[in-house]
Amino acid sequence: MNIREDKKILLRRGVSLIVIMLAFTILTFGTTSGAQVFRSLSLIVAGLLMFAILVHAATKPETELVAHERVARINERAGNSAFWLVLLSITVLFWSDRAWSIGVELVDLYYAAMFVGIISWSLFRWHHRRKEDVVG
């Protein structure tokens, strides 16, 4: 693995933060109830995923780096489209509950908004990135 010079600071600080987080969760792993164990395990998995992402970002070759303006423009377009899709889906769920009394609660609307927002933002980012590759 060849780590670029500008990513060495990121790698050192990131690895140290990940090690601190993993050590903290491992030390508190067996202390209390099942919910605490679940939280500790999820923090361990998150730390390992962050480490994998950090190593991947630090070992990326210089040719794979994208321009910041292009990424910002893609994220803005995807965010705008995802916002309107979330707004539309929440409106449809709300008015269908009002019309047919299907029993949708506020928590259900919250989870639906999160799910639709995350999935649609990811899909719109992929779409706009592909569209810019074809056009640009």
What radius of gyration, in Å, describes the C-alpha atoms of the chain? 21
pLDDT tens-digit map of 66-75: 567 888 888 8
As given in the structure block, the two tokens for residue 44 are: 């361990």
Please report, for the chain, the start and end positions of each structural domain, with discontinuous segments joined by +.
5-63, 66-135
pLDDT tens-digit map of 70-96: 888 888 999 999 999 999 999 998 899
0.85 surpassed by pTM? no
